[in-house]
Structure 1
Amino acid sequence: MAERPAVPVQMLRSIDAILSALPECRQEDAWVGLRWRVGSATVAHVFGGEDQLFRITFRAELDEMMAFEHLGPPYFRGSWGRNVVGLLLDDGTDWEELAELLTDSYCLQAPARLVEQVPRPG
């Protein structure tokens, strides 16, 4: 079995900069890679695959799931949970779009008192 690669430091820094700016969102080790949580809810999980590609998973509104599935690569549906979306991370990753998706994921997972503190476009 091939070993899973470590996620590049710069990629981790970029993801952490997005998520650590959200109230009470913290990074921790996961079974593979790293995850960010608010309370006991996972907001995002980043990891390297045996195929040497890097992925991040996050939560999305159920009505958006079909759109992500139809977009195809670099998006994929997580094989666990009803609303888990994944994204392959590479040199073409749109970090502004990812920041919006991760903020949405946080807002789905966080308690309302914390979501109220997050500035979001109308």
Structure 2
Amino acid sequence: MAERPDPPEEWITRIDAVLTALPECVRVPAWTGMSWKVGSATVAHVFGGEDQLIRLVLRAEPDEVMALQHLGAPYFKASWGTNVVGLVLDGDTDWDEVAELLTDSYCVQAPGHLAATVARPLR
């Protein structure tokens, strides 16, 4: 079995800066890579795959999942959960877009009273 690469610390730091600024969102080590949770709900998970690619998976509204899935690479629909979408991170990643997706994911996963305190990105 191939080794899974660790996500670059710079990328973890970028994701962390967005998510830990949101109410009660915390960074926690995952089975591989790093994840962020609000309560027991996972907001995002970044990890390296056996194919040596770094992926970020998160939650999105159903219409957003469909739109991202149809865009194709670097986006993909995860094989689990109806609202799980991901993207492959690389040197060309649009970190402003990632910040918007992370904020949306938080709002999907957070309890309503917390999500209501966050300004959602306009699309």
Given the two structures, how large is their TM-score scaled by the length of structure 2? 0.94
1:53-68 map, 5 Å: 53-68=53-68
- For residues 28 and 63 of structure 1, do their structure 2 counterparts lie closer, same or farther at Cα, with a shift above 3 Å needed? same
Per the TM alignment, residue 119 of structure 1 is displaced from its structure 2 partner at its CA by 2.5
CA distance in 2 between partners of 1:121 and 1:56 (Å): 19
Which consecutive aligned stretches of 4+ in structure 1 deviate over 2 angstroms post-superposition? Answer: 119-122
Residue ranges of structure 1 left out of the alignment (5+ in a row): none
Alignment of 1:19-98 (within 5 A): 19-98=19-98
- Matched residues, number: 122
> Is 2:54–2:88's contact at 8 Å kept on the other side of the alignment?
yes
Residue aligning to 1:104: 104
Match of 2:114 in 1: 114
Q: 2:87 and 2:62 mapped to 1: Cα distance?
A: 17
Mark the runs of 5 or more structure 2 residues left unpaired by the alignment.
none
CA-CA distance at 1:120 after TM superposition = 3.1
Q: Distance in 2 between matches of 1:32 and 1:64?
A: 26
**Aligned equivalents of 1:63, 1:121: Cα separation in 2:** 15
**TM-score for both structures, normalised by structure 1:** 0.95
Amino acid at match of 2:90: D
